[in-house]
Structure formats: C-alpha cells, structure tokens
Amino acid sequence: MDFNSHTDAVVRVAVALVNALTPGEQRGRAFPEPADLGAAATAALRTVYPSFREVSAAEGAELAEVARRLRAVFTAVAGDDIDGAAELVNALLAETGARPHLERHDGEPWHLHFHGPGGTMAGDWAAGCATGLAVVLGSEFHDRLGVCTAPHCDRVYVDVSRNGTRRFCSTACQNRVKTAAFRARAKG
C-alpha cells in the first residue's frame, strides 16, 4: 500500500500517537497514560520523523487529546463501522480546519502537507493525521486500520500487507496468541 509517501508517513504518525498516548492495554499488560506526555509524544513522532524537535509537556497534553480522537477512528473501522469512522474523520477535518499547503524541506521535492489554521504543533498534526486517515478511508484500503485482536491489547495498527490479513499490533502479540493456541491444543 502506497498512497503517497507523505500520506503513509502521517498515517504512521497517527498510529504512533495513539499507541504512545492513549491509555488502555498493551501486549497483555495495563498501559496507563504516560506521566510525561511531552517525552512520550517526542518519542512517538521520532519513530516516523527521527529528527523531530522536542515536544513540550503542554503540546504533549494537546497531542494526547488528538490521539484520543484518532483512536475512535481505528475502533470504528475495527468494528466494521466504516460509516461511523468516516463521520469521525469528517468532524476532525472540519474542527482542525485542515488545509492543503505545498512544502519543500530537507532536500525533498515539493509535497502536500495539511495544516490547521492556528499554527500550533498539535493542531497541525491533528489536521495532518485526519487528512491521512481520510485518504485511507476514501480508498479501496478503507478497512486497513485496525485494533490489535490479541487478548489484553488495544494498540492500533495500519495494515500495509499485500493481502490485508494483519490482526495484531506487533509480532509480540502475534506470538502470544500463537503460543496460547499451541498450549490449548497440547492440553486438549
């Protein structure tokens, strides 16, 4: 799956922000909201943009709120509620005032970014992530957003495999489920 490299990147950012900043469960363990949202947001953004600047605590808190909204989109798609997901994304696009803007930086060719009108970092990421998810939902790959199906895990993912059969957030969860199934068979 390759919408275009920038869209792929902002969708990966959406996944990283949801997984780093929203509380729930991760790979069989409770995942509380991080105490240091600035540091957690910085680490998440750097998984996609390694040289991204340090995120402040206030910006981290704003991004956590954005992440909560983005999670709802993944949850809706995972529950086969594509209509609901589309409504959530449309609401985010409207609220964030996402507007296209051509940019050229870091030696890249001109490419399309989406920004919010306020010029804040969280507002820009909210607009960019909403647009990235809108591109996915508006494509033949609209069902490629997911929530991990392993027990006690609710981390999200975007399925970029060719046949679209991904079900887990990570190989760690995939292996947990395989091991449990193997043990169940051995017992039975």
Two tokens, residue 163:
């046949």
Q: Please report how close the Cβ of residue 129 comes to Zn ion at its closest, in angstroms.
A: 21
The radius of gyration of the chain from alpha carbons, rounded to an integer in Å, stands at: 17
Cβ nearer to Zn ion, comparing 85 with 153: 153
Nearer to Zn ion, 135 or 148 (CB): 148
In the bound state with Zn ion, the residue whose beta carbon lies nearer, of 101 and 178, is 178
Residues at the site binding Zn ion, with contacts judged by CB under 5 A: 148, 150, 153, 155, 169, 173
Q: C-beta of 46: minimal distance to Zn ion in Å?
A: 21
Smallest gap, in angstroms, from Cβ of residue 180 to Zn ion? 13
The whole-angstrom separation of Cα 48 and Cα 50 is 6
Contacts of the segment 136-141: beta carbons below 8 A, 24+ positions apart: 136/3, 136/7, 136/11, 137/73, 137/77, 137/82, 137/85, 137/86, 137/89, 139/3, 141/1
CB-nearer residue toward Zn ion: 137 or 148: 148
Close Cβ partners of 170 (under 8 Å, ≥ 6 residues apart): 27, 148, 155
Q: How far is the CB of 59 from Zn ion (least distance, A)?
A: 27
